[in-house]
Amino acid sequence: MAETEPREALTLEDLADVWHVLSPEDRVAGFRLLPRSEAEEFFLSHDARDQAALLRALPPEEQRSWARLLAPDDAADLVQALPPEAREHVLGLLDDQTRREVRALLAYAEDDAGGLMSPRYARLRPDMSVDEAITYLRRQARERLETIYYVYVLDESQRLLGVVSFRDLFAAPPGKVVRDVMHADTVAVRDDMDQEAVGRVFRETGYLALPVLDAEGHLKGIVTLDDIVDVVEEEATEDIQKLGGMEALGAPYLQIGFRRMVGKRAGWLAALFLGEMLTATAMARFEDEIARAVVLALFVPLIISSGGNSGSQATTLVIRAMALGEVRLRDWWRVARREIGAGLALGTTLGSIGFLRIVIWQAVRPVYGPHYLLVASTVFCSLVGVVTFGTLAGSLLPFLLRALKLDPASASAPFVATLVDVTGLVIYFTTASAIMTGTLL
C-alpha cells in the first residue's frame, strides 16, 4: 500500500486569505492548527469582535491564556464586544490587576478618550536624577507597557507635570534631574473627549501617543496612534454608510446577519420612497401645464437630477469638512454665501449646456416646436434656480442637524436629492408659467 504524503501545515497567511468565507466552526478549527506563535500574532491582529467570537468558541481550559494575552484597553474592547451575559466570565479569566484596569476602562463611554486609553504607561517623578530615571525605566520596560516612546512626569497626586523622551534622558548630563529635561507644555486630551476630536488632535500634532487627563488634571492613561487609526476607520465607515442613505451597519459587510442588514436599509429606503411620492403630488399640481405643453415633461428628469446631484455634492463637502474640523456650527453663513455663489455658477454652466443642446437639436431635428427658444430659456432659468437651491439646501442641512445635536452624516445624499426633487419641480413649472404664459401656456 502506497504511503500517503503528509499534509502541509496551515500557515497564518493561508488562514488570513480564507478567514472571511469560513464558518465559525471552521475558523476555530483553522485557528487551532496554527503554531502558538503564529496563533498569537493572528489573534492580536484581529478586531475585538473576532477575538470575542474566537475566545468563546475555544475550550474553557484554553480561554484563560488567550484572554491574558491582551492589554487592558484591548481586553476592554473584547469585553464590550461580548453579550452581557458572557462578560463576567471573561473578566474572571484575567489576572487581578488587569481585571481592575479593565473595569475602570469600562466605566467610560466606548467612544470617549477614556474608553480608548491604556492605563499602562511609563512614568517618572520630577525630582529623580537622569541615571535613576533610566534605571527605573528599564524596570518598567519589563512590564507590559503600551508604549515607551514618551515618559510622563507626575507629581505625588498623579497630576501631569510634563513629558520627556528617551532621547532627552540619554542626552542629558548625569547631574541633571528629570524636571530639568522634561517638556512642561504637554498636549493632552480630556477623558470625556469624543474619539473624533481625539483623532483631530493626533492629526494636528503628529504625536504617537497622547496623555488622557481627568477634570482635575490627573493622568488616567494614554491613547496611542494605532488605537485612533482604528477609530478613524470605523467613524469613516459609519459616515460613508449614512451618506449612502442607510443606518450604519456596525459590523463588516459579510459578517452582519442578512435580516439585520435588510432592516438597517429598509427604514431609510421607505422614508425616501415616501418623500419621492411628493414628487408625484407636485406633478399632479402642474397637470394642466403639462397637458398644454407636453414638451415640458421631457426635461423633468434633467431638472430634478441636476438639483439632486448639486445638493448631494454640497452636503458631502460640508459633512466631510465638519468631520475634519474645518467647518464649525458658527460658520454656517460663510458656507451659505459660498454655496449660493457656487450654485449660481454651476447652474449657469449647466443651464448654458441645456440651452445649447435644445437649440442645436432643434436645428438638426425639429422636435420642440416653434417656441423652442422659450423652452430653452425655461430650462436655462430653471437649472440656475434648481442647482442654486440644491447647493444651498445640501450645505445647510448638516448645520441644521448639528444644531439639533444629531449626526450631520444623516443628511445623506439620497435624502438631499429627494428634498430637492420636489422643490425642483415647483421651481421648474413656476419658471415655465412665468416665461410661457400667452404662448404654450
Q: Which three cell numbers stand for residue 259?
A: 435580516
Q: Chain centroid to CA 419: how far? A: 24
pLDDT for the residue numbered 5: 43
Which amino acid type is present at position 103? R
Q: Cβ–Cβ contacts within 10 Å for residue 314, how many?
A: 29
Q: What is the pLDDT of residue 408?
A: 76
Cα–Cα distances (Å) from 204 to 207, 210, 355, in that order, read 9, 12, 47
- Specify the fold of 258-436: Tetracycline Repressor; domain 2 (1.10.357)
Write down the CATH number for the domain with range 12-107: 1.25.60.10
Q: Which residues contact 40 (CB under 8 A, 6 or more apart)?
A: 69
pLDDT tens per residue across span 250-287: 666 666 667 777 776 777 677 767 777 777 777 777 77
Report helix, strand or coil for 8.
Answer: coil
Q: What distance, in Å, lies between the first and last C-alpha atoms of the chain? A: 95
Place of cell 449626526: 407
- How does pLDDT run across 122-142, given as a tens digit for each residue? 889 999 998 888 888 887 776
Single pTM value for the model: 0.61
β-pairing verdict for 219-224 and 209-213: antiparallel
The CA distance from 297 to 349, in Å, is: 22
Report the DSSP pairing between strands 150-154 and 219-224.
unpaired
CA dist 230 and 226 (Å) reads 7
Distance of alpha carbon 372 from alpha carbon 249, whole angstroms:
50
Residue 278 in grid coordinates: 411628493
Residues of the chain with CATH 3.10.580.10: 123-235
Element (H, E) at 211: strand 209-213
Q: Give 61-118 as a DSSP string.
A: HHHHHHHTTS-HHHHHHHHHHS-HHHHHHHHHHS-HHHHHHHHHHHTS-TTBHHHH-B
3-state helix, strand, coil in the chain (%, to 5): 65, 10, 25
Residue range(s) of every CATH 1.10.357.20 domain in the chain: 258-436
pLDDT value of residue 2: 44
Beta bridge partners of 224: 209
Provide the β-strand partners of residue 218.
159
DSSP letters spanning 397-430: HHHHHHHTTS-GGGS-HHHHHHHHHHHHHHHHHH
Phi, psi for 190 (deg, rounded to 5): -80, 150
* Confidence (pLDDT) at 439: 73
Burial of 238 (0-12, 13-18, 19+ CB in 10 A): middle
C-alpha dist (Å) from residue 401 to 1, 328, 395, 404, 410 = 75, 12, 11, 5, 8
**CB contact at 8 A, 381 and 337:** no
Pinpoint the residues of the chain covered by CATH 1.25.60.10: 12-107
Query: According to the CATH classification, is domain 123-235 in 2.170.120.20?
Result: no
Which residues of the chain are under the pLDDT cut of 70?
Answer: 1-10, 142-147, 239, 241-257, 264, 268, 272, 292-293, 410-413, 440-441
**Predicted pLDDT at 313:** 87
